[in-house]
Chain A
Protein backbone atom coordinates (compact mmCIF):
# COMPACT_ATOMS: atom_id res chain seq x y z
CA UNK A 1 0.00 0.00 0.00
CA UNK A 2 2.84 2.41 0.84
CA UNK A 3 4.39 1.68 -2.54
CA UNK A 4 1.11 2.49 -4.34
CA UNK A 5 0.88 5.85 -2.53
CA UNK A 6 4.53 6.45 -3.34
CA UNK A 7 3.87 5.72 -7.03
CA UNK A 8 0.94 8.15 -7.04
CA UNK A 9 3.13 10.86 -5.46
CA UNK A 10 5.84 10.39 -8.10
CA UNK A 11 3.25 10.51 -10.91
CA UNK A 12 1.83 13.69 -9.34
CA UNK A 13 5.28 15.29 -9.36
CA UNK A 14 5.85 14.39 -13.02
CA UNK A 15 2.37 15.72 -13.92
CA UNK A 16 3.07 19.02 -12.11
CA UNK A 17 6.30 19.59 -14.03
CA UNK A 18 4.65 18.56 -17.32
CA UNK A 19 1.61 20.80 -16.71
CA UNK A 20 3.87 23.79 -15.98
CA UNK A 21 5.21 23.56 -19.53
CA UNK A 22 1.74 23.90 -21.09
CA UNK A 23 0.28 27.41 -21.32
CA UNK A 24 -3.19 27.29 -19.77
CA UNK A 25 -3.32 30.88 -18.55
CA UNK A 26 -4.60 31.20 -14.98
CA UNK A 27 -5.58 27.50 -15.07
CA UNK A 28 -1.89 26.63 -14.61
CA UNK A 29 -2.12 27.71 -10.98
CA UNK A 30 -5.35 25.78 -10.43
CA UNK A 31 -3.89 22.56 -11.88
CA UNK A 32 -0.64 22.87 -9.91
CA UNK A 33 -2.46 23.49 -6.62
CA UNK A 34 -4.97 20.69 -7.24
CA UNK A 35 -2.13 18.22 -7.79
CA UNK A 36 -0.28 19.55 -4.71
CA UNK A 37 -3.43 19.24 -2.56
CA UNK A 38 -4.04 15.69 -3.81
CA UNK A 39 -0.46 14.73 -2.98
CA UNK A 40 -0.71 16.33 0.47
CA UNK A 41 -3.98 14.47 1.14
CA UNK A 42 -2.37 11.14 0.19
CA UNK A 43 0.57 11.80 2.52
CA UNK A 44 -1.73 12.81 5.40
CA UNK A 45 -4.16 9.91 5.04
CA UNK A 46 -1.71 7.08 4.40
CA UNK A 47 1.85 8.01 5.40
CA UNK A 48 0.67 9.93 8.47
CA UNK A 49 -1.94 7.24 9.28
CA UNK A 50 -4.77 9.73 9.78
CA UNK A 51 -7.03 7.29 7.93
CA UNK A 52 -6.68 4.89 10.87
CA UNK A 53 -6.41 7.49 13.65
CA UNK A 54 -9.00 8.43 16.27
CA UNK A 55 -11.80 10.88 15.47
CA UNK A 56 -10.15 13.41 17.76
CA UNK A 57 -6.94 13.30 15.70
CA UNK A 58 -9.04 13.83 12.56
CA UNK A 59 -10.66 16.92 14.03
CA UNK A 60 -7.39 18.42 15.26
CA UNK A 61 -5.60 17.74 11.96
CA UNK A 62 -8.49 19.24 9.96
CA UNK A 63 -8.62 22.30 12.24
CA UNK A 64 -5.22 23.37 10.93
CA UNK A 65 -6.40 23.19 7.33
CA UNK A 66 -9.69 24.84 8.23
CA UNK A 67 -7.64 27.74 9.60
CA UNK A 68 -5.77 27.92 6.28
CA UNK A 69 -9.13 28.00 4.48
CA UNK A 70 -10.22 30.98 6.61
CA UNK A 71 -6.90 32.73 6.01
CA UNK A 72 -7.09 32.39 2.24
CA UNK A 73 -10.79 33.31 2.20
CA UNK A 74 -9.87 36.58 3.89
CA UNK A 75 -7.09 37.14 1.35
CA UNK A 76 -9.65 36.39 -1.36
CA UNK A 77 -11.14 39.75 -0.43
CA UNK A 78 -7.83 41.43 -1.25
CA UNK A 79 -7.43 39.48 -4.48
CA UNK A 80 -10.97 40.10 -5.75
CA UNK A 81 -11.03 43.88 -5.28
CA UNK A 82 -11.96 45.63 -8.45
CA UNK A 83 -13.57 42.54 -9.98
CA UNK A 84 -16.97 44.04 -9.39
CA UNK A 85 -17.43 47.62 -10.67
CA UNK A 86 -17.68 50.11 -7.84
CA UNK A 87 -15.63 48.15 -5.29
CA UNK A 88 -12.55 49.78 -3.83
CA UNK A 89 -9.18 48.79 -5.21
Chain B
Protein backbone atom coordinates (compact mmCIF):
# COMPACT_ATOMS: atom_id res chain seq x y z
CA UNK B 1 0.00 0.00 0.00
CA UNK B 2 1.51 3.34 -1.07
CA UNK B 3 2.13 5.89 1.63
CA UNK B 4 -0.36 8.80 1.28
CA UNK B 5 2.22 11.29 2.43
CA UNK B 6 4.22 10.67 -0.79
CA UNK B 7 1.27 11.45 -3.04
CA UNK B 8 -0.01 14.41 -1.03
CA UNK B 9 3.11 15.96 0.43
CA UNK B 10 1.20 18.91 1.86
CA UNK B 11 -0.90 16.67 4.02
CA UNK B 12 0.22 15.46 7.39
CA UNK B 13 -0.92 11.90 7.73
CA UNK B 14 -2.19 11.23 11.19
CA UNK B 15 -4.33 8.51 12.63
CA UNK B 16 -7.78 9.81 13.74
CA UNK B 17 -7.84 11.06 17.29
CA UNK B 18 -10.92 9.04 18.04
CA UNK B 19 -10.66 5.62 16.52
CA UNK B 20 -14.36 4.87 16.48
CA UNK B 21 -16.36 7.84 15.06
CA UNK B 22 -19.60 6.00 15.75
CA UNK B 23 -18.86 6.43 19.39
CA UNK B 24 -19.25 10.22 19.20
CA UNK B 25 -21.62 10.71 16.23
CA UNK B 26 -24.46 8.59 14.92
CA UNK B 27 -23.50 6.98 11.58
CA UNK B 28 -26.44 8.57 9.80
CA UNK B 29 -25.18 12.01 10.73
CA UNK B 30 -21.71 11.32 9.36
CA UNK B 31 -23.11 10.30 5.99
CA UNK B 32 -25.61 13.17 5.74
CA UNK B 33 -24.24 16.04 7.77
CA UNK B 34 -26.48 18.57 5.95
CA UNK B 35 -29.93 18.99 4.37
CA UNK B 36 -30.24 16.68 1.32
CA UNK B 37 -31.16 19.67 -0.89
CA UNK B 38 -28.01 21.61 0.02
CA UNK B 39 -25.67 21.59 -2.97
CA UNK B 40 -22.00 20.97 -2.22
CA UNK B 41 -20.78 24.41 -3.37
CA UNK B 42 -22.81 26.28 -0.74
CA UNK B 43 -21.91 26.63 2.92
CA UNK B 44 -25.44 26.38 4.26
CA UNK B 45 -29.11 26.65 3.30
CA UNK B 46 -29.28 30.40 3.95
CA UNK B 47 -26.40 31.06 1.54
CA UNK B 48 -28.05 28.80 -1.03
CA UNK B 49 -31.39 30.63 -0.96
CA UNK B 50 -29.60 34.02 -1.04
CA UNK B 51 -27.65 32.99 -4.13
CA UNK B 52 -30.78 31.74 -5.93
CA UNK B 53 -32.72 34.90 -5.07
CA UNK B 54 -29.87 37.08 -6.26
CA UNK B 55 -29.59 35.11 -9.51
CA UNK B 56 -33.32 35.54 -10.14
CA UNK B 57 -33.07 39.27 -9.49
CA UNK B 58 -30.23 39.57 -12.02
CA UNK B 59 -32.52 37.89 -14.55
CA UNK B 60 -35.38 40.22 -13.58
CA UNK B 61 -33.10 43.24 -14.10
CA UNK B 62 -32.56 42.08 -17.71
CA UNK B 63 -36.36 41.80 -17.97
CA UNK B 64 -36.74 45.37 -16.66
CA UNK B 65 -34.39 46.53 -19.42
CA UNK B 66 -36.29 44.42 -21.97
CA UNK B 67 -39.70 45.92 -21.12
CA UNK B 68 -38.11 49.33 -20.41
CA UNK B 69 -37.15 49.63 -24.07
CA UNK B 70 -40.77 49.10 -25.10
CA UNK B 71 -42.01 51.65 -22.58
CA UNK B 72 -39.45 54.09 -24.01
CA UNK B 73 -40.76 53.48 -27.54
CA UNK B 74 -44.29 54.05 -26.22
CA UNK B 75 -43.25 57.34 -24.62
CA UNK B 76 -41.53 58.64 -27.76
CA UNK B 77 -44.46 57.80 -30.07
CA UNK B 78 -47.06 59.03 -27.62
CA UNK B 79 -45.18 62.31 -27.26
CA UNK B 80 -45.18 62.67 -31.04
CA UNK B 81 -48.91 61.82 -31.37
CA UNK B 82 -50.73 62.73 -28.15
CA UNK B 83 -54.22 63.12 -29.68
CA UNK B 84 -53.88 60.03 -31.86
CA UNK B 85 -52.87 57.89 -28.88
CA UNK B 86 -55.73 59.22 -26.76
CA UNK B 87 -58.21 58.50 -29.55
CA UNK B 88 -56.83 54.98 -30.07
CA UNK B 89 -56.79 54.19 -26.34
CA UNK B 90 -60.46 55.08 -26.20
CA UNK B 91 -61.28 51.93 -28.20
CA UNK B 92 -59.79 49.60 -25.59
CA UNK B 93 -62.23 48.02 -23.17
CA UNK B 94 -61.49 49.55 -19.75
CA UNK B 95 -63.79 47.08 -17.97
CA UNK B 96 -61.89 44.03 -19.25
CA UNK B 97 -58.58 45.75 -18.53
CA UNK B 98 -59.60 46.61 -14.96
CA UNK B 99 -60.95 43.08 -14.33
CA UNK B 100 -57.67 41.64 -15.61
CA UNK B 101 -55.70 43.96 -13.30
CA UNK B 102 -57.71 42.71 -10.33
CA UNK B 103 -57.30 39.08 -11.49
CA UNK B 104 -53.51 39.50 -11.62
CA UNK B 105 -53.35 41.20 -8.21
CA UNK B 106 -55.38 38.36 -6.67
CA UNK B 107 -53.02 35.87 -8.38
CA UNK B 108 -50.07 37.71 -6.83
CA UNK B 109 -51.72 37.32 -3.42
CA UNK B 110 -52.28 33.57 -3.94
CA UNK B 111 -48.67 33.29 -5.17
CA UNK B 112 -47.37 35.03 -2.03
CA UNK B 113 -49.51 32.68 0.07
CA UNK B 114 -48.15 29.67 -1.86
CA UNK B 115 -44.60 30.75 -0.93
CA UNK B 116 -45.73 31.35 2.65
CA UNK B 117 -47.34 27.91 2.91
CA UNK B 118 -44.07 26.27 1.78
CA UNK B 119 -42.09 28.47 4.21
CA UNK B 120 -44.14 27.31 7.19
CA UNK B 121 -44.10 23.65 6.03
CA UNK B 122 -47.85 23.58 5.41
CA UNK B 123 -49.22 20.25 4.15
CA UNK B 124 -48.52 19.48 0.46
CA UNK B 125 -52.26 19.83 -0.26
CA UNK B 126 -52.30 23.45 0.99
CA UNK B 127 -49.19 24.35 -1.03
CA UNK B 128 -50.63 22.78 -4.19
CA UNK B 129 -54.00 24.48 -3.62
CA UNK B 130 -52.42 27.96 -3.58
CA UNK B 131 -50.30 27.15 -6.64
CA UNK B 132 -53.31 25.81 -8.54
CA UNK B 133 -55.33 28.91 -7.54
CA UNK B 134 -52.54 31.08 -8.96
CA UNK B 135 -52.56 29.07 -12.18
CA UNK B 136 -56.36 29.29 -12.53
CA UNK B 137 -56.17 33.10 -12.13
CA UNK B 138 -53.31 33.27 -14.66
CA UNK B 139 -55.38 31.25 -17.13
CA UNK B 140 -58.37 33.54 -16.48
CA UNK B 141 -56.19 36.53 -17.34
CA UNK B 142 -55.13 34.89 -20.61
CA UNK B 143 -58.74 33.96 -21.39
CA UNK B 144 -59.87 37.58 -20.99
CA UNK B 145 -56.91 38.69 -23.11
CA UNK B 146 -58.05 36.24 -25.82
CA UNK B 147 -61.56 37.76 -25.74
CA UNK B 148 -60.05 41.24 -26.13
CA UNK B 149 -57.73 40.16 -28.97
CA UNK B 150 -60.66 38.48 -30.80
CA UNK B 151 -62.60 41.71 -30.50
CA UNK B 152 -59.68 43.68 -32.00
CA UNK B 153 -59.43 41.25 -34.93
CA UNK B 154 -63.21 41.51 -35.54
CA UNK B 155 -63.04 45.31 -35.63
CA UNK B 156 -59.98 45.47 -37.92
CA UNK B 157 -57.84 47.04 -35.23
CA UNK B 158 -54.86 44.74 -35.82
CA UNK B 159 -52.03 46.65 -37.54
CA UNK B 160 -51.38 45.42 -41.05
CA UNK B 161 -53.14 45.47 -44.44
CA UNK B 162 -56.58 45.05 -42.83
CA UNK B 163 -56.23 47.88 -40.31
CA UNK B 164 -59.16 50.27 -40.55
CA UNK B 165 -59.63 53.41 -38.52
CA UNK B 166 -62.67 55.68 -38.73
CA UNK B 167 -61.29 58.38 -36.42
CA UNK B 168 -59.24 61.45 -37.20
CA UNK B 169 -55.79 59.93 -36.60
CA UNK B 170 -55.49 56.63 -38.49
CA UNK B 171 -51.68 56.51 -38.60
CA UNK B 172 -50.98 57.22 -34.90
CA UNK B 173 -53.79 54.79 -34.04
CA UNK B 174 -52.02 52.05 -36.00
CA UNK B 175 -48.76 52.84 -34.15
CA UNK B 176 -50.67 52.67 -30.86
CA UNK B 177 -52.13 49.27 -31.72
CA UNK B 178 -48.70 48.01 -32.85
CA UNK B 179 -47.35 48.92 -29.41
CA UNK B 180 -50.47 47.52 -27.74
CA UNK B 181 -50.08 44.10 -29.38
CA UNK B 182 -46.31 44.07 -28.92
CA UNK B 183 -46.40 44.97 -25.21
CA UNK B 184 -49.48 42.97 -24.15
CA UNK B 185 -48.38 40.08 -26.41
CA UNK B 186 -44.95 39.94 -24.80
CA UNK B 187 -46.62 40.16 -21.40
CA UNK B 188 -48.98 37.31 -22.36
CA UNK B 189 -45.99 35.16 -23.44
CA UNK B 190 -44.50 35.80 -20.00
CA UNK B 191 -47.80 34.67 -18.44
CA UNK B 192 -47.77 31.45 -20.51
CA UNK B 193 -44.17 30.74 -19.45
CA UNK B 194 -45.25 31.52 -15.87
CA UNK B 195 -48.02 28.91 -16.11
CA UNK B 196 -45.42 26.37 -17.32
CA UNK B 197 -43.14 27.19 -14.38
CA UNK B 198 -46.05 26.96 -11.95
CA UNK B 199 -47.06 23.51 -13.21
CA UNK B 200 -43.51 22.28 -12.50
CA UNK B 201 -43.54 23.92 -9.05
CA UNK B 202 -47.00 22.47 -8.37
CA UNK B 203 -45.75 18.97 -9.21
CA UNK B 204 -42.75 19.45 -6.91
CA UNK B 205 -45.03 20.63 -4.09
CA UNK B 206 -47.32 17.65 -4.67
CA UNK B 207 -44.27 15.38 -4.21
CA UNK B 208 -43.63 17.04 -0.82
CA UNK B 209 -40.32 18.57 -1.87
CA UNK B 210 -40.82 21.87 -0.05
CA UNK B 211 -40.61 22.64 3.65
CA UNK B 212 -39.44 25.45 5.91
CA UNK B 213 -35.80 24.54 5.25
CA UNK B 214 -36.05 24.23 1.47
CA UNK B 215 -38.52 26.28 -0.55
CA UNK B 216 -36.19 28.07 -3.00
CA UNK B 217 -38.01 27.01 -6.23
CA UNK B 218 -41.38 28.36 -4.98
CA UNK B 219 -39.71 31.59 -3.82
CA UNK B 220 -37.93 32.14 -7.15
CA UNK B 221 -41.02 31.25 -9.22
CA UNK B 222 -42.92 33.74 -7.05
CA UNK B 223 -40.42 36.49 -7.89
CA UNK B 224 -41.04 35.87 -11.61
CA UNK B 225 -44.82 35.82 -11.17
CA UNK B 226 -44.86 39.11 -9.20
CA UNK B 227 -42.59 40.74 -11.77
CA UNK B 228 -45.05 39.89 -14.57
CA UNK B 229 -47.79 41.40 -12.39
CA UNK B 230 -45.77 44.62 -12.00
CA UNK B 231 -45.40 44.93 -15.78
CA UNK B 232 -49.19 44.77 -16.11
CA UNK B 233 -49.63 47.36 -13.31
CA UNK B 234 -47.88 49.81 -15.67
CA UNK B 235 -49.37 48.54 -18.94
CA UNK B 236 -52.98 48.89 -17.77
CA UNK B 237 -53.07 52.67 -17.14
CA UNK B 238 -50.66 53.54 -19.95
CA UNK B 239 -52.60 51.63 -22.61
CA UNK B 240 -56.22 51.62 -21.40
CA UNK B 241 -56.62 54.81 -19.41
CA UNK B 242 -55.05 57.58 -21.45
CA UNK B 243 -56.91 60.37 -23.02
CA UNK B 244 -60.41 61.45 -22.50
CA UNK B 245 -62.27 58.73 -20.66
CA UNK B 246 -63.84 61.70 -18.89
CA UNK B 247 -65.54 62.66 -22.17
CA UNK B 248 -67.78 59.57 -21.97
Chain A interface (Cβ within 8 Å of chain B)? 2-3, 6, 9-10, 13, 16-17, 20-23, 28-29, 32-33, 35-36, 39-40, 43-44, 46-49, 53-54, 56-57, 60-61, 63-65, 67-68, 71-72, 75, 78-79
Binds A, one of B2-10, B103-111, B140-148, B199-207: B103-111
- Number of contacts between A and B (CB, 8 Å)? 113
A33 and B58 contact, CB distance less than 8 A = no
Task: With a 10 A CB-CB cut-off, give which of B116, B234, B237 has the most chain A CB atoms.
Answer: B237
A13 and B76 contact, CB distance less than 8 A = no
Knowing A2-B116, A13-B105, A20-B237 touch, does A71 contact B226 (C-beta < 8 A)? Answer: no
Give every chain B residue within 8 A of A60 (Cβ-Cβ). 54, 57-58, 61
Task: With a 10 A CB-CB cut-off, give which of B105, B226, B229 has the most chain A CB atoms.
Answer: B105
Q: How far is the CB of B91 from chain A (nearest CB, A)?
A: 15
Main SS of chain A's interface residues?
helix
Knowing A20-B241, A36-B237 touch, does A72 contact B113 (C-beta < 8 A)? Answer: no
B-side interface size class: 35 or more
Give every chain B residue within 8 A of A47 (Cβ-Cβ). 108-109, 111-112, 222, 226
Give every chain A residue within 8 A of B61 (Cβ-Cβ). 60-61, 63-64, 67
Please name the 3 residue pairs, one residue from A and one from B, whose CB atoms are nearest each other, closest first: A64-B61, A64-B64, A20-B241
Select one of B57, B68, B76, B112 contacting A57, CB under 8 A.
Answer: B57
Give every chain A residue within 8 A of B248 (Cβ-Cβ). 21
Q: How far is the CB of A14 from chain B (nearest CB, A)?
A: 8
Interface presence of B60 (CB below 8 A): yes
Residues facing A in B89-108 (CB within 8 A) are: 94, 98, 101-102, 105-106, 108
Residues facing A in B123-169 (CB within 8 A) are: none
**Nearest chain-B residue to A17 (Cβ)?**
B98
B222 and A57 contact, CB distance less than 8 A = no
